[in-house]
Structure 1
Amino acid sequence: MKKTTLLLAGLLLVSQLGMAEMKKDVKFTEKTYGVCSREMSVEVVDGKIASFSAVRGCPGNLNALSKLLPGMEVERVIDLLDDNYCSGAPLAGYTSCMDNLVEMLKYHVMGEGEGHIQEIRKNQKAGRKVVAFNGHICSGCGLCNAQLS
C-alpha cells in the first residue's frame, strides 16, 4: 500500500513539474507573421477568450472569429484551430491567421513554445521548403531578418 501511494504521489509530482502552468487571465497584442493580417489582440479571462480582434486580413473570417471565440475555453480554441494553414498566405503551407493565433495562445496562455514566430519558423525549417515572396527566396534558414508578413 505504501509503495503504491508513494508511486502515485511521485507520478503526480512529475506530471505537475512537466506541465506548463496555464495563465487564466492574459491580455496581449502581437504582430502576426507570414499572413495577410498585421496584428492580433486577445484577452483571456478565467481561461476563456474574452475578446479577439485582428488588424487587416480576411475581414469576413476574422470578424466572424471575433464573434465566435468569446466564451470559448483556450484549450478548445487550440484544439479546433491548430494546424489550419492558408493556401493564400505569403508563407503558404506553413501558417495562417489561425495558426498564428494558436501559437500565440500556446505561448502566452499555456506557457508552451518560444513564441509564435519562432514556432512557425521551426516548422518552415523542418519542412525544408523554399518560399518565394515579393522576389525574396526564403529557405527558412533564419540568417536574414526578413519580415515576410
Structure 2
Amino acid sequence: MKKKLLFFMAILALSAQGQEIVNKDVKFTEPTYGVCSKEMSVEVKDGKIVSFSAVRGCPGNLLAISKLLPGMEVSRVIELLDDNYCAGAPLEGYTSCMDNLVEMLKYHVYEQGEGHIKEIRSNQKAKKRIDVAYFGHVCSGCGICNGKFA
C-alpha cells in the first residue's frame, strides 16, 4: 500500500512540474490579434481568475465566458480553452478570442509562450501570406490578412 501511495505521489509531482505558476497575482490588459474583439482584461489572484472582460467581439459568448471564468484555476482555463479556434474569426483556423486568452495567460501567469499575442500573430504573418475569405463576416481590421472579400 505504501509503495502505491509513493508511486501515485511521484506521478502527481511529475505532472505538476510542467506548469508551475510563476505569477499567482497578475492583472493585465492586452490587445487581441486576429479576432473580432479588440482587447482583453484579466485579473488573476492566488492562481485563479478573478475577472475577465473583452472589448467588442461576440457579446453573448464573451459575456458568458466572463461569468464562467471567475474562480477557475488558470491551469484549468488553459486546459479547456487551448486550441479552440473560431470559425468566424478573420483568421479562421488560426486563432479565437479564447486562444488569445490562453496565450495571454501562458505569457503573463506562467511566463511561457512566444510573447504577446500580437507578436505571435505577426510572426505567423511574416512566415507566410494568409488569405482569408470573408463570408458575411464583419472585418475586425486586425491587419494580419490579405483579405479576399466574397
TM-score (norm 2): 0.71
Aligned to 2:40: 40
After the TM superposition, which parts of structure 1 deviate over 4 Å for at least 4 consecutive aligned residues? 18-21, 121-126
Aligned to 1:54: 54
Counterparts of 2:121 and 2:143, CA distance in 1: 13
Aligned to 2:116: 115
RMSD of Structure 2 on Structure 1 (CA): 2.9
Q: Secondary structure in 1 aligned to 2:79?
A: helix
**Structure 2 counterpart of 1:115, one-letter code:** H
Counterparts of 1:86 and 1:92, CA distance in 2: 6
Contact 2:49 2:73 in 1 (8 A): yes
**Structure 2 counterpart of 1:53, one-letter code:** S
Q: Deviations over 1:15-34 (max 9, x none)?
A: x7x97752000000011000
Counterparts of 1:117 and 1:73, CA distance in 2: 25
Aligned length: 123
Q: Secondary structure in 2 aligned to 1:89?
A: coil
Aligned to 2:95: 95
Aligned to 2:132: 132
Q: Identity, % of aligned pairs? A: 65
Counterparts of 1:119 and 1:21, CA distance in 2: 21
TM-score (norm 1): 0.71
| Structure 2 residues not aligned, in runs of 5+ | 1-12, 135-141, 146-150
**Structure 2 counterpart of 1:90, one-letter code:** P
1:148, distance to aligned residue in structure 2 (A): 3.6
**Structure 1 counterpart of 2:82, one-letter code:** D
1:87, distance to aligned residue in structure 2 (A): 1.1
